[in-house]
Amino acid sequence: MMLHTICPVTSVEHVGPNIIVIGFRSPEIAASANAGQFLNIKVNETFQPLFRRPFSVYHVEEETVKIIFQVFGLGTQSLVAKQLGESVDVLGPLGHGFRVDDNFETALLVGGGLGVAPLPLLTRQLSGKKNIATFLGARTKEQIVPSFLENIQTATDDASLGFKGTVVSLLDNYLKVHQVRKPKIFACGPNVMLNALGELAQRRNIPCEVSLETTMACGIGICQGCPVERVQQEKKYSLCCKEGPVFDVQTIIFPNAQH
Amino acid sequence: MPNTEVTIGSLKLKNPVLTASGTFGYGDEVKELVDGSKLGGIITKSLSLKPRDGNAPNRIVETSGGMLNSIGLANIGVRAFIEQKLPYLRELDTVIIANIAASTLDEYCEVLSLLEHENGIDGYEINVSCPNVKEGGLNFGTNCDMIAEITRRLRPLTTKPLIIKLTPNVTHIADFARSAELAGADAISCVNTFVGMAIDIRTKKPKLSTVTGGLSGPAIKPLALAKVYEASQAVNIPVIGIGGIMTWEDAIEFLLAGATAIQVGTANFIDPTAGVKIADGIKSYCEKSNIASVTELIGALDAKRDNSILSSWL
């Protein structure tokens, strides 16, 4: 059930360099959001910026929903300027989240940069029910946000924290030395990372779901602006907002990548 | 209580607010968020004979106050529309207008004929002006003779209102409006998107996969308003105003410029209830201004036509 609701801002936390976590009070969204779903947020009351901005649901605490983002452009600048008690206009929860079922025993959570966003809520949904190992990658240690996660290993490009290299290599190495019972990979991050992860998953025959980030306008399937190319499906494209943002990695074609 | 009803050919709209094609899906996508029965009407996404995948990503770009799109008429095809989408639209207490897109004259006729056999369609809007497809689209819309020919071919196929959706990407839109009127159109929609472009200066590549696309949103409102004014001065059939209408105030401007009804497009992507809010706003404006009927606003612009430079080619 998607809602269109006005939500007061309950918290603004700086958790890294230009990395912000904002909380909104919305009992309805907090009660219904699944990991991997997103909110499409109108950041101010003007038409500049014009579009809403999509954010993964980062975490849920009682009646509060949290998102995480890096201050980058006009939309995120408007959001970070919000004072406690000010409100934002939210559509959500939107899209299909990660599929949690009985077909796996160990969840391998992989986040690249702020692709960590959907993982805390997923951890909460899985905790106590599945084995969890979490792999976080970023350029530097400052960009690693380890909150609300379990059993974390890290990779950084500059070796400032953990493994030196990519998070996909980190996971590959882990799988070489650990016996993992019935694994499934859940991931979010840059397309180049997800594409490499898909190849790893295919090579090791591990199911893998990825949450994609695309440019979106409406977030609800009416503008048709967020096509994701599919592999041998009935139709050439699916809409990221409505049929995703979570897809089985083996069913999609990343831009400039061929299966 | 003001009368908000307006008439387009034989169609009576409970208020002058329609949703623009391609901006409200097939209606059912937004049923959890908005009561479509509160709108004057819903114009469907463009329907083609066969399903269309649409263009490759990237399909949309946000520009200053605007949206640049290159969707490419992605749709499920007219037969799937009839089977899967029309039953829901029939339940709504509002006017349903099918927007038709095609690559050939025969295709326009075939799609309209298929819809004509179904209950629940109250009128047709003919898309001769999509800037994002190679066949049909702008090739048709920028040729007065072609607009006349399409209208003449479709006219005998239906007694329901036939609306021709014009492109603004011409020098004198008045000529195209006249062509549609003379060939038997009941109304014209004015305007489709403006051809636009955005470039990534880092990669030196266009931001859209099709290089150029259609610009909509607040950025085009003054441009669209002038086209509506020009077209409405040229014809006696109703003009349906479109272009960057985000608020009820914008809608009133279009009515004053000569539009009988208006379409809300890009605003639906930001707020799916925008159309209903605009309809409510128009009603409140009439109440507060002691306007008995919204029709009093149509073309009520207080301006001397001869003062406009447009008058030289009208």
Inform me whether the pLDDT recorded for A201 exceeds 70. yes
Which site among A4, A28, A47 would you substitute to test the B interface, given the most B Cβ atoms closer than 10 Å to its Cβ?
A47
Report the gap between the CA of B57 and the closest CA in chain A (Å): 6
Which site among B55, B58, B59 would you substitute to test the A interface, given the most A Cβ atoms closer than 10 Å to its Cβ?
B59
Look at the alpha carbons of A48, A49, A52, A57 in this order and tell me if their dihedral is positive or negative. Answer: negative
Residue B190 annotated among the catalytic residues of the structure? no
C-alpha distance from residue B111 to each of A163, B45, B101, B103, B218 (Å):
60, 13, 8, 11, 32
The model's pLDDT over A2-39, given as tens digits with 9 standing for 90+, comes to 899 999 999 999 999 899 999 999 999 999 999 999 99
Mean pLDDT value across chain B: 95
Mean of the pLDDT values across residues A233-255? 92
What pLDDT, on the 0 to 100 scale, is given for residue B308? 83
Mean of the pLDDT values across residues B181-198? 97
Contact B272 A255 (CB under 8 A): no
Report the gap between the CA of B150 and the closest CA in chain A (Å): 27
Q: Which residue of B has its CA nearest to A74?
A: B64
The model's pLDDT over A48-83, given as tens digits with 9 standing for 90+, comes to 999 999 999 999 999 999 999 999 899 999 999 999
CA distance A141 to A172: 20
Contact A50 B66 (CB under 8 A): yes
Q: Which residue of A has its CA nearest to B55?
A: A227
Nearest to B71 among A1, A224, A242 (CB): A224
Inform me whether the pLDDT recorded for A189 exceeds 50. yes
B220 backbone dihedrals φ, ψ, rounded to 5°: -100, 0
The model's pLDDT over A105-141, given as tens digits with 9 standing for 90+, comes to 999 999 999 999 999 999 999 999 999 999 999 999 9
What pLDDT, on the 0 to 100 scale, is given for residue B156? 98
CA distance B9 to B188: 11
Mean of the pLDDT values across residues B84-108? 96
Contact A1 B268 (CB under 8 A): no
Look at the alpha carbons of B234, B235, B238, B240 in this order and tell me if their dihedral is positive or negative. Answer: negative
Asked if B240 contacts B8 with a C-beta cutoff of 8 angstroms, the reply is yes
CA distance B126 to B136: 11
Nearest to B269 among A2, A89, A217 (CB): A217
Mean of the pLDDT values across residues A189-210? 96
A8 backbone dihedrals φ, ψ, rounded to 5°: -70, 145
Nearest to A215 among B51, B58, B246 (CB): B58
Inform me whether the pLDDT recorded for B78 exceeds 70. yes
Q: Which residues of B touch A226 (CB under 8 A)?
A: 57, 59-60
Mean of the pLDDT values across residues B148-169? 97
pTM: 0.95
Residue A194: pLDDT band (50, 70, 90) is very high
What pLDDT, on the 0 to 100 scale, is given for residue A258? 45
CA distance B173 to A153: 63
CA distance B23 to B36: 13
Q: Residue B129, Cα to own-chain centre: how many angstroms?
A: 10
CA distance A13 to A67: 10
Q: Which residue of B has its CA nearest to A240?
A: B57
Which site among A50, A53, A212, A242 would you substitute to test the B interface, given the most B Cβ atoms closer than 10 Å to its Cβ?
A50
Mean of the pLDDT values across residues A170-186? 96
Q: Which of B109, B130, B190, B286 is catalytic?
A: B130
The model's pLDDT over A81-106, given as tens digits with 9 standing for 90+, comes to 999 989 999 999 999 999 999 999 99
What pLDDT, on the 0 to 100 scale, is given for residue B312? 79
